[in-house]
A and B are shown apart, each in its own frame.
Chain A
């Protein structure tokens, strides 16, 4: 198991966002978390990504406990994330955005950089960033300001920035939000390619079609609890899931 979540609990005031959530993600699979609004998907995502501290439970990555670690520590351990609202560095070019994610930038020491003029490290970082851009087909846009790209391409830049750290585990927050069907297909292809190259992907998603066509396993959540977990086929025929999506029951706190 690459990622294991055990008995995760989180509440905001009286609202239960997560209640004893357990899951385990195998290496080299695409694992999707779905559920209706308010199911606790985003909270779960944020706890795994280190942005929110859980009230209880633990998160293990490759066997070591990563509960409560800061996002930059997770990034250095090989867990990268994207944002639903992209959160790109909007004044920078595409290449600069991706460069910022490379170890060349994130691991640079402060004080020596006051005295160094050499740019050799820059070449190395640039090379790494260019490789990622090439993989995602963004080479031609490398020197454009990131704000000039259409939303679908911007989402790829977000993905490229996350990939720049060569992560083992990629966390994607609603990667298909705001994409056209064409762009969605392109993204799905790209994610499948990444998995085949050995990257494990966990994604939180609203769009059922994307998930069913792409994920190896799906976890369905409702009211902060796990409803079921299985292959897309198993999940889509499960009576519990149909009840969650069509029943419209209110959460009972």
Chain B
């Protein structure tokens, strides 16, 4: 009953907020918001992996890339219907995560960071070098427009609806997971793997499933990205993007809306830097952004806070989000 009374308090403002760009937004604003939604999907998976289960991945952009390339290759080279290609996009990164996860997830902390970093770099290299499949550095173009039950998505507005629909569904799934007994088991793994194991939790299998799940979500985001841009190349799926994703997950914290808040913060910051950086440093490009992200990540890690979103919610009178957050974890890393 309590839930029934409470949900409009959150859902109504959220719906209004989401409707604003649809009604008044120009193509630029809609485009930025589509990017936020796409990255929120990937950040949601990474948030479950990092904030809930306490496992870090600095290679998630590779999973996004695998999803993007899988969708592009299936649609362009094999002529799959676009929607089917999009649906298949998470499978390749999920498979890769399943293969890589078992040895990699035995590692902890810095070693896990290094191993996932190495994986991300390796896959990025493959995107560049496997020219026969990926088209090398110049990428794959000519990805057909996405068709949903005979309805062709071509405008920004239509993509806005699709990507936010997907993002909301993903957020709901992650919230279900967080509140389920599995979510509790994951936060136990985060706190002490030894104790979780002794309680009867199969920690290795649980970590692997979470890794596969988060990779699949990154892949779904990659697939959406490929169809949205209608072109894939290796450059958006490198180390830079992995750091962005980690930053989104850490900034967002464990609140249900965290991934959206984190993705929005990073994408807005990136848009701002694209405009502001050349004013300060003439000729500065994307490489200066990583300096800002790195600094932000260091500061946040030192604070070990509950994520920007979690903090804001904690200060609200109801403080419910904060409580839910506290059940997750206080340690982003």
Interface residues of A (CB under 8 A from B): 49, 51, 70-72, 75-76, 80-81, 83, 87-92, 96, 99-101, 103-111, 113-117, 119, 121-122, 125, 161-162, 164-165
Contacts and interface: CB of A to CB of B under 8 A. Distances in A.
B274 interface: no
A83 B195 contact: yes
B177 interface: yes
A92 B198 contact: no
A114 B188 CA distance: 18
Given A106-B201, A114-B173, A89 B195 contact: yes
A3 B106 CA distance: 31
A108 B185 contact: yes
A31 to B, nearest CB: 19
A122 to B, nearest CB: 7
Nearest to B203: A72
Contacts of B182: 108-110, 113
B197 A110 contact: no
A100 B177 CA distance: 15
Interface majority SS (helix, strand, loop, mixed), chain B = helix
Contacts of B192: 87, 89
Contact of A100 (B184, B194, B210): B184
Contact of A117 (B176, B187, B191): B176
Which one of B179, B183, B191 has the greatest number of beta carbons of chain A within 10 Å? B191
B150 interface: no
A76 B176 CA distance: 25
Contacts of A103: 200
B185 A100 contact: yes
B196 interface: yes
A86 to B, nearest CB: 9
A111 B197 CA distance: 20
Nearest to B181: A108
Given A72-B200, A113-B176, A106 B191 contact: no
A70 B191 contact: no
Contacts of A109: 182
Interface in B304-329: 326-327, 329
Contact of A76 (B185, B191, B200, B330): B200
A165 B195 CA distance: 13
Contacts of B138: none
Given A105-B184, A109-B182, A114 B176 contact: yes
A161 B327 contact: no
B11 to A, nearest CB: 15
A76 B202 CA distance: 10
A101 B209 CA distance: 20
Contact of B191 (A91, A105, A114, A162): A91
B199 A83 contact: no
A117 B179 CA distance: 8
Nearest to A99: B184
Given A113-B181, A125-B181, A105 B330 contact: no
B176 A115 contact: yes
Contact of A115 (B173, B183, B327): B173
